[in-house]
Amino acid sequence: MDLEYSAEYKDFQEEVRAFAKNHGHKSPRGSAVARPTEQAREWQALLIENGYAARTIPKQYGGYGAEPDILKNVIIAEELNRAGLNRGLSNQGVTMLVPTLLEVGTQEQRDKWIRPTLYGEVMWCQGYSEPGAGSDLASLRTSATEDGDDFIINGHKIWTSSAHVADMMFILVRTEPDAPKHHGISYLLLSMDTPGIEIQPLVSMTGVAEFNEVFFTDVRTPQNQIVGKRGEGWQVANTTLKHERGMLGDPDRTARQLQALIDCLKNEKANGRALMDFPVYRDRVLRLQARVKAMQYHSMRVLTCNLKDQDAGVARLIVKLNATILNNEICETAIDLLGETGTLFGDSEYVRRDGMWQYAYMYSLGLIIGGGTSQIQKNIIAERGLGLPREPKAKAS
């Protein structure tokens, strides 16, 4: 296999490298759960203008409008990562709602929401999970009933990331209470300013309130804010989940974590020798490196299918499962190798890299659960991907 870039792609690589060199100082830093800062919005606009974000999204919606090209996508990611630059907005609106609207939204919804979402002017949260409806999402009970031109929503969502900073929510509601559970769901768009919404923060083990409980009491949203047909929200929800799982399995993020682990091994010492010089540590890192490489090539296969509008099938399902576990194992390895300083956190004077490993370890545990747990991913891979028998359903009591 020849993995050298051809002349055309080498030129493109030079172009991105030059962009990174000339504009890199404008790149923002910061948390993905916060609202984008002005600097983050300006950086996003610059990336789009140059075709390094929203690359294949049509110009009419504010994207760059390029033809799909897998190698160019890979080069952009490689070069921005190499330069340590932000790769643009990656919130739930940009990564999940925009592709959903492009697939199944009305023309009016695309015109209204895609551009401001891409440019960080409108921030979204995802209202799927409920107490009692996480893995078994189709059991959700938050209801929406018709009243004139509106739906009226009542119920309770949980684990809603970024709800406290979001302008809008894409929400799953039950509109047909008597239909079989997968058929009575609709997918609505909802302003978080609407009267009747109450948001309560939930603090995760990282110590940060990244997600929330959201309560709805007689909350109105216009009927034209439905995405897809009434009662067919389950299919729309799965379109969004497909993109969520892809986003959670970003191989470049994993490759960056691995590089940080390698740097850590080169810099940390035991008995005067760099940890990297101990075969037992090097062996652990090599095993992780092999899995990261395999994941990078695997994700190219998925990307190729996406760009050709083909369903990657079981290959797509493996990405989220592998990536989230691998991210966690890389952090776990770093904490192990740091020995007695490994478990330090917060403001300890001995903590390394401001406790980045410890924070990332706890955060990455959440991502193994969010977007569908590993056990659920394995069930889906077995049943839909490999055609194994469906797991037995519990009898209704």
With CA atoms as reference, report the closest residue to 78 among 217, 197, 207, 250: 250
Q: Which window, 145-153, 157-165, 213-221, 297-305, contacts ligand FAD (CB under 6 A)?
A: 157-165
Asked if residue 373 binds ligand FAD (CB under 6 A), the reply is yes
Smallest gap from residue 128 Cβ to ligand FAD (A): 3
Q: In the bound complex, what is the minimum distance in angstroms from residue 81's beta carbon to ligand FAD?
A: 23
Instruction: Choose one: 138-146, 154-162, 258-266, 318-326; the region binding ligand FAD (CB under 6 A).
Output: 154-162
> Is residue 382 a contact point for ligand FAD (CB under 6 A)?
no
Question: From CA 233, how far away is CA 215, in angstroms rounded?
Answer: 20
**8 Å CB contact between 190 and 260:** no
CA-to-CA dists, residue 82 to 17, 242, 265, angstroms: 9, 28, 19
Cβ at position 358, least distance to ligand FAD in Å: 16
How far, rounded to the nearest angstrom, does the alpha carbon of residue 373 sit from its chain's CA centroid? 14
Least distance in angstroms from the C-beta of 363 to ligand FAD = 8
Q: Is 206 in the site for ligand FAD (CB under 6 A)?
A: no
- Site for ligand FAD, residues 336 to 365, rule: CB under 6 A: none
Please count the other Cβ atoms lying within 10 Å of the Cβ belonging to residue 337.
21
> For residue 89, which of 48, 130, 60 has the smallest C-alpha distance?
48
x-or-dash string of contact with ligand FAD, 166-205, rule CB under 6 A: ----------------------------------------
369 sits near ligand FAD (criterion: CB under 6 A): yes
Distance in angstroms (rounded) separating the CA atoms of residues 10 and 6? 6
Angstrom distance (rounded) from CA 107 to CA 111: 6
* Residue closer to ligand FAD (CB basis): 88 or 372: 372
Alpha carbon distances (Å) from 66 to 44, 105, 352 = 17, 21, 42
| ∠ Cα 244 246 247 (to 5°) | 65
Q: What is the DSSP letter of 52?
A: S
Which residue number, 231 or 366, has a Cβ lying nearer to ligand FAD?
A: 366
The first and second tokens of residue 276, run together, are 């990297």
User: Contact with ligand FAD (CB under 6 A): which of 161, 239, 254, 364?
Assistant: 161
CB of 7 to ligand FAD, least distance (A): 44
Which residues inside 110-129 make contact with ligand FAD, applying CB under 6 A?
125-129
Q: Quote the tokens at residue 129.
A: 């999970």
Task: Reply yes or no on whether 232 is catalytic.
Answer: no
The set of catalytic residues is: 244
Q: Which parts of this chain interact with ligand FAD (CB under 6 A)? A: 125-129, 134-135, 159-161, 211, 366, 369-373, 375-376, 379, 391
